[in-house]
Amino acid sequence: MNRSTITRYLTRTFLVRVLSVLFALSALLQLLDLLDAASTVLERGLGGGGLVYYTMIRLPMVMERVVPLAVLIGSLSTLWTFASTNEIVAMRSVGMTPYQIMGALLPAALVISIAHFIMADQVAPRCERAFVSWWTATELPSEKKDDDPVKPVWFRLGDHVVRIASISDDGKHIEGVEMVTRDADGKATGLMSAVSGDHGPDGWQLSGVVQTEIGEPLRVTQSDKARWDVDLSPNNMIDLRKPPENIPFNRLLRIVRGNWAGGESPTYYATRLHSTYAAPLASLVMLLLAAPVAHGMRRRGGAMGSLALGTVIGLIFLLSSGILSSMGQAGALPPVMAVWSPLILFAAIGGAIMVYVEG
């Protein structure tokens, strides 16, 4: 048996195991979510078709979150099976080292990482936008809470701070606009307020505008109509009104550069941007953490012990990544440290264990 045949066999087995675990975990989580929402879907008169659409539109958002865990379980399952059936011994008998065996699985892991990035960056945000639009359009009058006060929207627009009392569903009409203009040092230089605003072919037109220039003396000017020269599209307004959970990479980049308004702090979006780069690489770390199952560790406590060790370390990696990422979004840690430190640390741990086992 030549090495190319072994590589194809390893790749095929690895991909089948990972995809099987991915669909199983996603189906379980989606089933739990559907059990919670099924009564609402049926009360809205959407029937069985509504249940199917609900499941399909939310499935990519669920799958995107469980990819690293699926890679961990699939890798452990694949390598443990090879070790327990002595297929690893057969591979080593033809001259393949453990590092070459893991290298044979690396291209498949890279394909999964690329697919994970595409799903998180393109598929999940589009599905979330479609789901929110569909869920809002089918909402029953009895489900709307008219007595709840409408919360104003605060966001940054370049160096300025903006407050909008309410935004329409289509993002083309706003009310209660206030904008504090600031200089490069963060010092307030003026205040602009307007009763309402509408978006048209020429951009935003404000009504009932009052502009105040802070200085000596204080200057106040009023006008019935005024053009608001800002780069705020209706889609941007919709995102501000209902912030999406899944944000595409290009939009995160625009927010960080100040070309798209966001309602969170700059550190929040900077952390999310770094996570976009780092999240797909988690699959490679999971594969590395599973590597000791295939060799060496069976002589030091049995295959089950190495399987449990890989599972525990992988779960700790996911937990620490989530905690540090939350700290980065809150500004407690620099975004680079919050996102990349667990990835680098656990990659080093996996590599050190692998070297020690072979040592």
Residues 137-164: what's their mean pLDDT?
77
Name 211's bridge partners: 192, 221
pLDDT band of residue 52 (cuts 50, 70, 90) is very high
Spatial separation of the C-alpha atoms in residues 139 and 145, rounded to whole Å: 11
Residue 299, pLDDT > 60, answer no
Q: What is the pLDDT of residues 193-203, one digit of tens each?
A: 999 999 988 88
Name 180's bridge partners: 161, 191
Rg (alpha carbons) of the chain, rounded to whole number: 26
Residue 30, pLDDT > 70, answer yes
Residue 242, pLDDT > 60, answer yes
| Packing angle, helices 47-84 and 98-118, rounded to 10 | 170
What single DSSP character describes residue 354?
A: H
Q: What is the chain's length?
A: 359
Choice between 151 and 2, residue whose per-residue pLDDT is larger: 151
Give the percent of the chain with pLDDT over 70: 93
pLDDT band of residue 297 (cuts 50, 70, 90) is very low
10 Å CB burial of residue 202 (0-12, 13-18, 19+) is: exposed
Residues 35-53: what's their mean pLDDT?
90
Residues 100-108: what's their mean pLDDT?
86
SS3 call for 310: helix
In the chain, where are the structural domains located? 153-245
Whether residue 212 contacts residue 218, with contact meaning beta carbons closer than 8 Å, is answered with yes
Count each helix (H run) and each strand (E run) in the chain, helices first. Answer: 11, 6
10 Å CB burial of residue 232 (0-12, 13-18, 19+) is: buried
Choice between 230 and 215, residue whose per-residue pLDDT is larger: 230
Residue 146, C-beta contacts closer than 8 angstroms, at least 6 positions apart:
none
Amino acid at 225: K
Name 212's bridge partners: 191, 220
Q: What are phi and psi of 28, to 5 degrees?
A: -65, -50
Choice between 355 and 114, residue whose per-residue pLDDT is larger: 114
Residue 279 corresponds to which tokens in the numbers above? Answer: 């999240």
Spatial separation of the C-alpha atoms in residues 44 and 125, rounded to whole Å: 25
pTM score, whole prediction? 0.82
- The pLDDT assigned to 98 comes to 75
Q: C-alpha angle with apex 346: 341 to 278, nearest 5 degrees?
A: 55
Spatial separation of the C-alpha atoms in residues 336 and 288, rounded to whole Å: 22
Looking at every residue in the chain, the average pLDDT score rounds to 86
- The pLDDT assigned to 146 comes to 54
Choice between 305 and 265, residue whose per-residue pLDDT is larger: 265
SS (H, E, C) 70-98: HHHHHHHHHHHHHHHCCHHHHHHHCCCCH
- The pLDDT assigned to 127 comes to 92
Residue 194 corresponds to which tokens in the numbers above? Answer: 């307007």
pLDDT band of residue 303 (cuts 50, 70, 90) is low
Spatial separation of the C-alpha atoms in residues 347 and 158, rounded to whole Å: 38
Q: What are phi and psi of 352, to 5 degrees?
A: -65, -40
Amino acid at 299: R
Q: What is the pLDDT of residues 55-70, one digit of tens each?
A: 999 999 999 999 999 9
Spatial separation of the C-alpha atoms in residues 257 and 51, rounded to whole Å: 40
Residues 164-186: what's their mean pLDDT?
88
Residues 152-162: what's their mean pLDDT?
85
